[in-house]
Structure 1
Amino acid sequence: MRVYGYARVSTQEQAEEFDALNQQIARLKTAGATEILIDIESGRSDSRKQFNELLYLVQRNQVDEIIVTRVDRLGRSVITIHKAIEIFVKHEVNLRVLDAPVDPNSPFGWFSINQMSGLAEFESRLLSQRIKHGNNYFREQLKFCTPPFGYGKDENQRLVPNRNIHEKSGKTYFELGKLIIELILEMRSLKDVCTYIYVEYEIVFSVAGLRDWVKNLALQGHTAYFVKKKKGVNREPIINFDTHEALVSAATVEAIQQKLSANRRYRSSATSTRGDYPLSSLIKCAHCGGGMYRNFSRHKTKTEYMRCANYSKPGKYHCENSKCTRLREIIAQTITELCRHAPQLIDHLQSQSVTTVIVNTKEIENLSNELSVMRGLRSSNPDIIHAIAKIEETINSLSTPVKIVDRDAFENAQKQITIASQATFWESLDDLELRAALVEFVEKVEVNSSGSITPTFKLPLTRSSMRP
C-alpha cells in the first residue's frame, strides 16, 4: 500500500526548539507511513507546498492511505479541511487520524471531523485575536523589535542611542552612525562607503542595506510601524514623532536622497546596453557560483571583460576570484567547445528522446478492476491483503515496456546541432543574433581565477544539461 503521512507545524521555532515536528514524524512512521510530507506554515494558508502536493498525488490516484496525528494538521479552516476530505473520499483514500480515529465515509465520522475542524478554526482565530491585541499594546508602548545600526533598546524595549563602545574604532555605535551619514554625503557612492567602513571598522553593510538604513525613520527620532508595504496588505503607516534622540535630521536625509537620485540619473541611460551582449547572465564564477558583470577597459579600444560580481563585496560575501577575462575570449571558447562536442550532443539527444510506455492489455485491465474493488473493501483480513499484493505482483509481471522515439523532435534538434557545429554559422551572426543562438545551447559558462572557461550545454527542445 502507498501510505503517506502529513506533518505540519506553524513556525520554525516549533520545529526546532519544541521538537514538535520530529514528534509528529516519529508517530507517523510508527503508524506505518512510508512517505512523509512536511510543511512549516500556518494551517490557515491554502498555499502550503507539501499539502497541495499531497492533494495532487491523491487526485492522480497515487495514494491509498493518509495518516495525520490530528485533524488540525490538515488545516485550521473548516473549508480547507472539508475540501481535502472530499477529495480523499472521492478518490477512495483512507484517512487515519491517530489522536481521534474517525471514518469520513460514515455520517457520524463526517460529523465528528466537521466538529474538530470547527474547533481547529476557532482556536486559530482566537490565537490570531490575542496576537493582534498583543501587537497593538506593543505599538502603543512605542516598543521596537530590531533597532537599526546606531541604536539599542532600554528596559522598556524603546529605542535609545547605542552608547556601547565599538572595539576597533573606540567610538560609540551612535557616533559611528553619524560618521557613516557624513561619509555618504562626502563619498562618491554607497558602494564606496560600504567598502570604506568595512576596511576601516569591519562594519558590514550591503549597498541596498545602507540605502534602507538611511531611509529608516528611526534615525530621525521617530518610532514608526507599517512603513514598508507588503504585498496584499494595505495598511496606513503609524508614525510616532520625536520619541527618542535623532541621529540625522530630515534635511540631511533629503540631501542624501537627492544625491542618490543624481547618481542614478548620471549612471542610467535610455540607450543602455547592459545585459544586451552574448552570454548575458550565463557567465558564472566557478568559485562562488555568483554572476559576473561586464566592464570596459579604459583604453580607447574599450575592450569588454568579465569579473566576479562578488569580488568587490565585503565580509562573508567576498569572493577571491579577481580574474578579469575578456568577453570575446569566453564567447570564442564556448563556440569552439560547442562545435567540438556536437557529435556527443546528438548521441545524448538520441538517448534522451526515447520514452517508455506500458502496454495495458485486456488482462491487466481486468486485474486492475479487481484490485480497485478489493482495495475499496478496506479490510484488515490477512487473506484479502495477501490477495491484493498478489494481484499487484501479477500486474507488474504482465506490464510490457515499449520504447518509442519522437522522430520529429529528434530530427529537428539534430538539425539545429549540426548547423551549430559549423564555425561559419557563428561567424555570420551579429551580436544580437549570437546572443539569441547561444541561449538555445548554453546552460552556463563557468570562469575560474586562472581564466579557465568551462561551458555547460543544454539540448534544444529537451533542455537536458550536458557538460563536455
Structure 2
Amino acid sequence: MRQQRKAVSPPFGYRVLDGRHQLDQKPFLCLLDSREELSKAEMARELIDLFFELRSLQGEIKRFNQKYGLQRRANTPHSTKRSNFYWCRAGLARWLRNPVLCGHLVYFPNSEAPLITRDAHPDQRLISDEEHLEIKKILESNYKLRGWGVYSPLYPLSGLIICAECGHRCYCQKSGSKNRPIYYQCSNYRLRACGVKKTIRASVVEQAVVEALVARSDEIARLAEVVEENPEPLEVQSLRNQLAGLKALGKNPAIDTAIAQIEEQIARLLRQHTQKVNVDSTLIDKVLSNRSYWLTLPDKEKRQLYHDLVEKIVVKEGVVAQIILKV
C-alpha cells in the first residue's frame, strides 16, 4: 500500500475511491427540523469552522451534539458500538491534526514518526496548510493554558469511576467551599454525549470500595508479603561468613568453642526473625481488614493503593453498580 501510495482508513469526512482519499459528498443524515440533508464532508467542514469559532474542543463537541442530538454508546455497560460521528476530546484533536485533511497521505498517524506523502490528493483538501498550522497553535495554546502551572487537587478515586451508560470516565465536581462534599458525574454529560445527569457522592463511592477491599483483605495481605531471595537478616549472613572462616582453620579447642557460640547466636537470631515475620503478617492482615485504616490514609497514599488494587468502579444513575478489583 505504501509503495503504491494507496489511501487507507479514511478519516471522518472522507472515503477511499480508486486508492485515493476523496471528500465524502454522499448524503449522510437529514435534520428533522429543517429537512436539510448533509454529507460527511459538509459536517466535517462544520466541525472545523466550529473549532475556529469556539477555540475549544469541549465547547465544540457540546455545540455539535446539541445540534445533531445525543450520540452515545448503546445502553449496555459493555457495549462498544458507537454512532457514526461520536466525538471525544482526544479523538477530535487527533482528527483536526490529521494531515489527510490538508490533502496529504499518511501512514501510522499515531506513531512518533508517521510517514507522510505530501499533496497526494490536493484537489480534495478539507483545510488549507495555514488553517492546519492555526489549529495546531490553538491546540498547543489550550494545552499549555490548562496543563501547566494550574493546581489540580488530588482525588483518590479519579480515573477509576466509569459511567455504566456510555462507558466513559466520570469527573470530579467540587464547589469553591473547602468543606463542601465532592461529587462525580459522567464526563460525557457536559458534552451532551450522554444522558445521565445524576451525580454520586465521592464518599459513597469510597465507602463501597473500602468494603470491597476489606472483603478481600486476605488476598491483599498475601500480596503485601515481600518474598526476598535471601530472607535471613544481614547479621545472620555475617555470622555465617565468620563461621565458615573458623571452620576452615581446622580443629582446635578454642576454635571449637567459638564455632559453638556463633552457631548458638545464629539459631537465636533466626528464632527472633521468624517470630517477627509471623507478627508482621498478622498485623498486616488485621490492618487491612480495618475500615478506618483505609479511610484515614492521606489522599496521596489512598490514590496509589486504590489504583494498584482497583480495576474500575461502574456507577449507574447515582449508585455504585459494580467494583472490579485487581486482586
TM-score (norm 1): 0.44
Map of 2:185 onto structure 1: 307
Cα deviation for residue 331 of structure 1 reads 2.8
Residue by residue, what CA displacement relative to the aligned partner does 1:292-339 show, whole Å, maximum 9, x if unpaired? 332323557564222234555777xx4x5433222234334544x379
Is residue 2:159 matched to residue 1:277?
no
TM-aligned CA distance change 1:428 to 1:196, over 3 Å: closer
Aligned length: 257
Corresponding residue number in structure 2 for 1:205: 87
Equivalent position amino acid for 2:185 in 1: R
Q: 46, 57, 73: which one pairs with 1:190?
A: 57
What is residue 282 of structure 2 aligned with on the other side? 414
Aligned counterparts of 2:173 and 2:47: Cα–Cα separation in 1: 28
Q: Counterpart amino acid of 2:298?
A: D
Corresponding residue for 1:147?
A: 10
SS for the counterpart of 2:38 is coil
2:118 paired with 1:256: no
Distance in structure 1 (CA, Å) of the matches to 2:59 and 2:176: 20
Distance across 1 between alignment mates of 2:7 and 2:119:
12
Aligned residue among 265, 268, 271 for 2:147: 268
Matched AA of 1:325:
I
CA–CA distance in structure 1, aligned partners of residues 23 and 309 of structure 2: 56
What amino acid maps onto 1:308 in structure 2? C
**Partner residue, 1:4:** none
On the 8 A contact 2:14/2:24 being kept in 1, the answer is: yes
Q: Name the CA distance, whole Å, in 1 between partners of 2:169 and 2:88.
A: 17
| Secondary structure in 2 matching 1:171 | strand
Name the aligned partner's letter for residue 12 of structure 2: F
| CA deviation string 1:424-455 (max 9, x = no partner) | 64565432244456567666544332434765
Aligned to 1:167: 29
The answer for the alignment partner of 2:104 in structure 1 is 223
Note if contact 1:147-1:159 (Cα within 8 Å) is conserved in structure 2.
Answer: yes
Check conservation: 2:217, 2:288, Cα contact below 8 A: no
1:238 to 117, 139, 144: 117
| Contact 1:333 1:453 (8 Å CA) reproduced | no
**Equivalent residue of 2:184, what SS?**
strand
1:29-178 residue pairs with structure 2 within 5 A?
135-136=2-3, 138-139=4-5, 143-154=6-17, 156-168=18-30, 169-178=36-45
| 1:204 and 1:314 in contact (8 A); partners too | no
Query: Could you say if the C-alpha distance between residues 187 and 153 of structure 1 is closer, same or farther in structure 2, counting changes exceeding 3 Å?
Result: same
Judging changes above 3 Å, is the alpha-carbon distance between structure 1 residues 285 and 217 closer, same or farther for their aligned structure 2 residues?
closer
Q: Percent sequence identity over matched residues?
A: 23
What displacement does 1:148 show?
A: 2.9
Give the 3-state SS of the residue equivalent to 2:287 in structure 1. Answer: helix
Change over 3 Å in CA distance of 1:306–1:246 after alignment to 2: same
1:330-366 CA-partner distances (Å, limit 9, x unpaired):
334544x379x56x8459979xx9xxxxxxxxxxxxx
Could you tell me which runs of 5 or more consecutive residues in structure 1 were left unpaired when the two chains were aligned.
1-133, 354-405, 464-468
Q: Please give the secondary structure, in 2, of the residue aligned with 1:167.
A: strand
Contact 1:159 1:244 survives alignment (8 Å): no
Residue of structure 2 aligned with 1:181, choices 29, 45, 48: 48
CA RMSD of aligned residues (A): 4.2
How many Å separate the matches in 2 of 1:408 and 1:443? 33
Map of 1:331 onto structure 2: 206
Distance 1:135 1:265, change over 3 A: closer
Counterpart CA distance in 1 for 2:146 and 2:303 is 24
CA positional deviation for 1:164 = 1.9
Q: What displacement does 1:255 show?
A: 1.7
Q: CA deviation at 1:227?
A: 6.2
CA deviation digits over 1:191-240, x for unaligned, max 9? 332343344236323333322222222322x3324363647xx7853323
Using a 3 Å threshold, how does the CA distance of structure 1 residues 407 and 454 change in structure 2: closer, same or farther? farther
- In the alignment, is the contact (CA less than 8 A) between 1:227 and 1:238 conserved in 2? no
Contact 1:303 1:326 in 2 (8 A): yes
Q: Secondary structure at the match of 2:7?
A: coil
Cα drift, residue 419 of structure 1: 2.5
Taking a change above 3 Å as real, the CA distance of residues 309 and 215 of structure 1, as seen in their structure-2 partners, is: same
- Alpha carbons 1:323, 1:450 under 8 Å: kept: yes
Relative contact order, CA 8 A, sep 6+: which one is greater? 2
Deviation sequence 1:11-40 (CA, Å, 0-9, x none): xxxxxxxxxxxxxxxxxxxxxxxxxxxxxx
Q: Which secondary structure state, in structure 2, belongs to the residue aligned with residue 258 of structure 1? A: helix
Among residues 173, 192, 198, which one is paired with 1:295 in the alignment?
173
Match for residue 126 of structure 2 among 244, 247, 264: 247
- Which residue does 2:316 correspond to in 1? 448
Distance 1:440 1:224 in 2: 41
Q: Distance in 2 between matches of 1:207 and 1:444?
A: 21
